[in-house]
Amino acid sequence: MNTIVKSDFSFPEMTHVYKGKVRDVYTIHDDLLVMLVSDRISAFDVVLPKGIPYKGQVLNQIAAKFLDATSDIVPNWKIATPDPMVTVGIQCEPFPIEMIIRGYLTGSSWRTYKSGEREICGVPIPDGMREHERFAQPIITPTTKAEQGAHDEDISKTRILRGGLVSPEDYALLEKFTRELFERGSQMADERGLILVDTKYEFGKKDGRIYLIDEIHTPDSSRYFYKKGYEERFAKGEPQKQLSKEFVREWLMENGFQGRDQDVLPEMTDEFIKSVSDRYIELYEQITGEKFVKVDASNILRRVEKNILSFLANA
């Protein structure tokens, strides 16, 4: 199965390269970013050893769709998508935090709550809540943006402002944009029979203006439940049917892996890899309402390089 798990492109006037867990970002002229969304998959801040076919295409195309659909709320970095796995956009100075917003008590927030904590990132959580229960109002639980190889850490609004990580004026705007983006994403999900459970947004600044950067509303950055059956499953205390990367985390936990130093990664069989790919494609079709068209992956690196070079030559 032809996937991109590594790239080593060299573009004209390239000034910097950043390799993240999933994305390879090439900087051109110190002001243009070429972001390749690879087929790598990460969980518990660990990149798994094998790629997932079409995952990069799914993530990039969903993100592009939602960036376009929310540009009236906040400007974003996207200029073009010259390849199904690539977005080109303006370079911004990123804020050193990620804005996570949660509509439901689930995933890591549930694990924290179940351990006895009643506060997440300075936000009080009432007693008596159950797994997958909807919050009265969505809560914002920021994290730090860790250096490569390190773990993101929860951080409160108070600590962000006290530490001078973000100015009070900018943070007020980040909160405003986060809530408005989540509301828009929730509306779009509802139209497709889904619930946008939680998600993260990253922002940057250029020439004094705040931009939305990176991906948005993808299964790597968001969690979706199916709306149909949510109430019945919740009433019975049953697991929710969901579309997100959480099923990969659950598979890892079932096999004794949670990213701890002593943990050993389980084998990723061809069957498991195909099931993950199928789930990503399912989410694409469910959230966009469009049939996923698999792009030719017979010489995937050459195709991507050719499309990027063509765009840069005409930029």
Residues 109 and 223 in one domain: yes
Q: Domain with 266 in it: what CATH number? A: 3.30.200.20
CA distance 139 to 101: 6
> For position 283, what pLDDT does the model report?
84
The string of DSSP letters for 98-111 reads EEEEEEEE-HHHHH
Point out the domain boundary residue: 217, 244, 271. Answer: 244
Write out pLDDT tens, residues 15-65: 999 999 899 999 999 999 999 999 999 988 889 999 999 999 999 999 999
Tell me whether residue 1 is in a domain: no
CA distance 49 to 47: 6
Tell me whether residue 171 is in a domain: yes
Residues 40 and 107 in one domain: no
Residues 154 and 213 in one domain: yes
Tell me whether residue 70 is in a domain: yes
Residues 238 and 119 in one domain: yes
> For position 151, what pLDDT does the model report?
63
pLDDT exceeds cutoff 60 at 150: no
> For position 243, what pLDDT does the model report?
79
pLDDT exceeds cutoff 70 at 145: yes
Q: Domain with 174 in it: what CATH number? A: 3.30.470.20
Residues 172 and 240 in one domain: yes
Write out pLDDT tens, residues 2-17: 899 999 999 999 999 9
Domain that holds residue 194: 94-244
Q: What is the mean pLDDT of residues 229-248?
A: 90
pLDDT exceeds cutoff 60 at 161: yes
Tell me whether residue 6 is in a domain: no
For the chain, give the mean pLDDT: 94
User: Does the global pTM surpass 0.85?
Assistant: yes
Residues 76 and 188 in one domain: no
Residues 20 and 30 in one domain: yes
Total number of domains in the chain: 2
Residues 235 and 296 in one domain: no
Residues 98 and 198 in one domain: yes
> For position 201, what pLDDT does the model report?
97
Write out pLDDT tens, residues 205-225: 999 999 999 999 998 889 999
* 282 or 151: which leads in pLDDT: 282
Tell me whether residue 124 is in a domain: yes
